[in-house]
């Protein structure tokens, strides 16, 4: 789901958290690590003019203010790989554009939007940046967006990292890991998924329920019944019961049948 931008209580948290974020692993040659007083920042060195250009800004912001269904602009998709380094820097929280336009009001949403842009572009370069982001210390909301991106693109190289996220400190990240692994459909992941799902607070349970149903393993029936007991309201309990019945009937909701990407 494409994130919508708006004012959020996350703003203050992000201002503090982004100072502590470090870019992990190896930085591609198109990036230059620049020491700053407050920490590390990353700048696109190959095409710094493009990342600050009117063309990129218009393509990046286009579609964000849609009330009902914000959508990454086709203009950004057409730019393709040229925009990938710019989107990567924004997603990491180190870009001047985060102080302008809608981003000035909701930095986290803008970073999620950059991840959505990488996912929508979907080239080998974009997939590589998504995979690198997944292995970077990020704000939980941005990390969830990155997991959603690699799952949507079926990047199997992300599986070890997603499995590790089942033990993440943030419950939203753990729930997204359960959903992501359910999308990939490896039955061997069931035990880890079940343990993570059982430990989730009620507000994140429905995400895990979708992941367990997507996995389609009948061992999930007992786990789902336990998760249903976390809710007092009939609506949520009925949704979980519906998932239970679909699994029992052998007709769970499944991911679109498509081959998983082997790259990167």
What is the three-state SS of 100-125? CHHHHCCHHHHHHHHHHHHHHHCCHH
Q: Residue range 200-218: average pLDDT?
A: 94
Q: Would you state the pLDDT for residue 211?
A: 96
Is the domain defined by 154-264 classed in CATH 1.10.287? no
Q: Would you state the pLDDT for residue 62?
A: 87
Distance of CA 168 to the CA centre of its chain: 14
Q: Would you state the pLDDT for residue 156?
A: 95
Q: Would you state the pLDDT for residue 131?
A: 96
The C-alpha atoms of residue 254 and residue 49 are separated, in whole angstroms, by 44
In tens, the pLDDT along 137-182 reads 999 999 999 999 999 999 999 999 999 999 999 999 999 999 999 9
Averaged confidence pLDDT in the chain = 81
Q: How many CA atoms lie within 13 A of 8 on its CB side?
A: 18
Higher pLDDT: 105 or 44? It is 105
The answer to whether residue 125 scores a pLDDT higher than 60 is yes
The C-alpha atoms of residue 47 and residue 86 are separated, in whole angstroms, by 9
Angle between helices 190-198 and 171-184 (to 10 degrees): 150
User: In the structure encoding, which two tokens stand for residue 94, read together?
Assistant: 């180190």
Q: Would you state the pLDDT for residue 64?
A: 75
- Of 2-11, 43-52, 130-139, 176-185, the least confident: 2-11
Q: How many separate helices (H) and strands (E) can be counted in the chain?
A: 14, 2
The C-alpha atoms of residue 111 and residue 97 are separated, in whole angstroms, by 10
Any idea where the domains of the chain sit in the sequence? 1-143, 154-264
Question: Using an 8 Å Cβ cutoff, are 153 and 119 in contact?
Answer: yes
Higher pLDDT: 67 or 239? It is 239
User: In the structure encoding, which two tokens stand for residue 144, read together?
Assistant: 């969830």
Rg (CA), the chain: 19
Q: Residue range 10-17: average pLDDT?
A: 42
Burial class from Cβ neighbours inside 10 Å (0-12, 13-18, 19+) for residue 92 reads buried
């Amino acid at each position: 789901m494409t994130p919508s931008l708006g004012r959020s209580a996350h703003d203050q948290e992000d201002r503090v958290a982004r100072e502590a974020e470090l870019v992990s692993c190896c930085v591609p040659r198109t990036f230059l690590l620049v020491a700053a007083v407050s920490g590390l920042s990353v700048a696109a060195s190959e095409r710094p003019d493009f990342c600050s250009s009117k063309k990129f800004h218009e393509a990046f912001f286009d579609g964000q203010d849609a009330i009902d269904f914000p959508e990454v602009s086709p203009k950004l998709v057409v730019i393709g790989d040229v925009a990938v380094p710019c989107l990567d820097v924004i997603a990491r929280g180190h870009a001047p554009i985060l102080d302008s336009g809608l981003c000035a009001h909701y930095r986290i949403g803008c970073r999620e939007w950059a991840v959505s842009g990488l996912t929508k572009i979907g080239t080998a370069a974009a997939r590589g940046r998504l995979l690198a982001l997944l292995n970077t210390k990020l704000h939980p909301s941005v990390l969830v967006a990155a997991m959603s991106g690699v799952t949507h693109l079926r990047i199997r190289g992300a599986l070890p990292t997603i499995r590790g996220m089942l033990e993440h400190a943030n419950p939203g990240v753990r729930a997204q890991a359960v959903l992501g692994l359910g999308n990939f459909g490896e039955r061997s992941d069931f035990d880890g998924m079940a343990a993570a799902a059982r430990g989730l607070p009620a507000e994140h349970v429905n995400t895990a329920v979708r992941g367990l149903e997507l996995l389609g393993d009948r061992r999930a029936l007992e786990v789902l019944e336990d998760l249903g007991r976390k809710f007092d309201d009939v609506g949520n309990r009925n949704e979980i019961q519906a998932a239970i019945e679909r699994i029992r009937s052998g007709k769970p909701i499944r991911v679109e049948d498509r081959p998983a990407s082997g790259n990167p």
